[in-house]
Amino acid sequence: MIYGEKNIDKPIRWAMVGGGRGSQIGYIHRSAALRDYNFELVAGAFDINPERGRDFGANLHVDLERCYPDYKTMFAEEAKREDGIQAVSIATPNGTHYEICKAALQAGLHVVCEKPLCFTTEEAKELEALAKKMNRVVGITYGYSGHQAIEQARQMIANGDLGEIRIVNMQFAHGFHSGAVEENNASTKWRVDPKMAGPSYVLGDLGTHPLYLSEVMLPEMKIKKLLCTRQSFVKSRAPLEDNAYTIMEYDNGAVGTVWSCCVNAGSMHGQKIRVIGSKASIEWWDEQPNQLRYEVQGKPVQILERGMDYLYPEALADDRIGGGHPEGLFEAWSNLYTRFAKAMHAADHGQTLEGVWYPGIEAGVEGVRWVENCVRSADSGAVWVEYQ
Ligand code: NAD
């Protein structure tokens, strides 16, 4: 159970790049980081427009002298202060992540970076090596992975409740971009521009989320080969896709699929994962995150509710309010930010982090790698490719 008591000696002095007024994801970063007193927002380069960023920072109670016009100035100026920032979150469009993350690590900062970490596996591995060299933490915000229901699923699979794992079906398929909304929406416009979005749209933006959930639940299973097909139903989005199917074969003989889609008309979010074993299956859907379906062959369906005593203790450890009340995306993100803080604190004090997992730089590398393999398969005519 989480009561909001301190996890680390002192809140980490923290800044943001991006996540300004009007952004989609900035607010949840701040709510998650600030909720459990692990971080203190002391600086920021919140916006591509310096004036707007400054005004926004002031409204967040950040000292005006620490509302910077850009990240380079912020890293340079903060390095001169005794009370300078120790960590930074990067919540800017994809095309900027690599350079900002690299600069932050070189400045000796811990990083929380939005996905995708960058555009190529080569760049991702370079960042991974740099983080290791600098002994800095890089957390990646696969937000729902911090939800109790995901931990419960992880424990059930580890304890053999499902038997031998055979099939993993995943999807993140919403309908919000069924039409060319990018014509009037800045947040969507860059997502369909390869210069800012990278080599894919929905594979990277959506598919990597349930893929990471599968990595959390099934840490031993490794992809051996995959086949991907991708389409642009809104033609102006080509060469980037607004729909994609990926079929995967794992090294243990299991198979999996990921449906990544933003043109699933009528669907609100549609992020689901179903893990099928030889004895039973589990299914989780982000629109009803407090319920985990547990289906044992030959028995009635069970709905496992968040916060109940029958869950595994590892899942209940992240409980904030008990069963019955909803916990959702904000709580899941807060759980992740708490783990990021613990990891940063451990790195700063030369301690080994025991019993805490979080989406770190290896999750960032894997997401980029998966997208790269999917694009290689799709653009070669939807053929099977060995996973590289
Ligand atoms: P957005 O376009 O809505 O907002 C981007 C923000 O960054 C704006 O405030 C903009 O002014 C600012 N910005 C842009 N370039 C900047 C720069 N160089 N320096 C400082 N600020 C800059 O984008 P968004 O939808 O919030 O997405 C941001 C990132 O978050 C993307 O990488 C996206 O993939 C990711 N994202 C992740 C999730 C998740 O669930 N983890 C959800 C949505 C978005």
- Asked if 378 and 241 touch (Cβ cutoff 8 Å), the reply is yes
Q: What is the DSSP string of 291-335?
A: EEEEEETTS--EEEETT-TTS-HHHHTT-SS-TTS---HHHHHHH
Contacts of residue 22, Cβ cutoff 8 Å, sequence gap at least 6: 186
Q: Two tokens at 8?
A: 């680390």
Relative to beta strand 291-296, strand 302-305 is: antiparallel
Separation of alpha carbons 25 and 114, rounded Å:
9
CA of 383 to the centre of ligand 1 (A): 33
Q: Two tokens at 58?
A: 């002031």
Other Cβ atoms within 10 Å of 28 Cβ, number? 19
CA distances from 339 to 38, 257, 318, 364 (A): 10, 29, 11, 16
Nearest CA to ligand 1 atom 2: 187
Rg over alpha carbons for the chain, rounded to the nearest Å, is: 21
CA of 37 to the centre of ligand 1 (A): 24
Separation of alpha carbons 24 and 26, rounded Å:
6
Q: What is the pLDDT of residues 297-327, one digit of tens each?
A: 999 999 999 999 999 999 999 999 999 999 9
Atom of ligand 1 nearest to the CA of 187: 2
CA of 127 to the centre of ligand 1 (A): 20
Q: What is the pLDDT of residues 97-109, one digit of tens each?
A: 999 999 999 999 9
- CATH domain 12-143+338-360 topology: Rossmann fold (3.40.50)
What angle do the packed helices 361-379 and 208-217 form, to 10 degrees? Answer: 120
Ligand 1 near 327 CB (within 6 A): no
β partners of residue 113: 90, 140
Q: Which pLDDT value is given to residue 94?
A: 97
Give the strand order in the sheet containing 255-261.
Answer: 302-305, 291-296, 280-285, 271-277, 165-173, 255-261, 243-250, 223-231, 385-386
Ligand 1 near 187 CB (within 6 A): yes
CA of 321 to the centre of ligand 1 (A): 30
Nearest CA to ligand 1 atom 25: 24
Q: Which pLDDT value is given to residue 170?
A: 98
Other Cβ atoms within 10 Å of 132 Cβ, number? 12
Atom of ligand 1 nearest to the CA of 191: 34
Atom of ligand 1 nearest to the CA of 186: 2
Mutate to test the pocket of ligand 1, among 16, 21, 48, 240 (most ligand atoms within 8 A of CB): 48
| Domain span(s) for CATH 3.40.50.720 in the chain | 12-143+338-360
Report whether the peptide linkage leading into residue 210 is cis, meaning its omega lies within 30 degrees of zero: no
Mutate to test the pocket of ligand 1, among 23, 201, 205 (most ligand atoms within 8 A of CB): 23
Q: What's the residue count for the chain?
A: 388
CATH of domain 148-320+365-386: 3.30.360.10
Q: Hey, what long-range contacts does 81-87 have (CB within 8 A, 24 or more apart)?
A: 83/13, 83/42, 84/13, 85/13, 85/14, 85/15, 85/42, 85/43, 85/109, 86/12, 86/13, 86/14, 86/110, 86/344, 86/348, 87/12, 87/13, 87/14, 87/15, 87/39, 87/111, 87/112, 87/344
ipTM of this complex > 0.95?
Answer: yes
Ligand 1 near 73 CB (within 6 A): no
Burial grade of 378 (CB within 10 A; 0-12, 13-18, 19 or more): buried
Ligand 1 near 353 CB (within 6 A): no
CA of 24 to the centre of ligand 1 (A): 7
Q: What string of pLDDT tens digits covers the 388 residues of the chain?
A: 999 999 999 999 999 999 999 999 999 999 999 999 999 999 999 999 999 999 999 999 999 999 999 999 999 999 999 999 999 999 999 999 999 999 999 999 999 999 999 999 999 999 999 999 999 999 999 999 999 999 999 999 999 999 999 999 999 999 999 999 999 999 999 999 999 999 999 999 999 999 999 999 999 999 999 999 999 999 999 999 999 999 999 999 999 999 999 999 999 999 999 999 999 999 999 999 999 999 999 999 999 999 999 999 999 999 999 999 999 999 999 999 999 999 999 999 999 999 999 999 999 999 999 999 999 999 999 999 999 9
Q: Which pLDDT value is given to residue 294?
A: 98
Relative to beta strand 165-173, strand 255-261 is: parallel
β partners of residue 257: 169, 247
List, in sequence order, the alpha helices (H) in 80-179: 97-106, 121-134, 148-158
| Domain span(s) for CATH 3.30.360.10 in the chain | 148-320+365-386
Q: What is the pLDDT of residues 172-182, one digit of tens each?
A: 999 999 999 99
Q: Which pLDDT value is given to residue 360?
A: 98
Separation of alpha carbons 98 and 16, rounded Å:
15
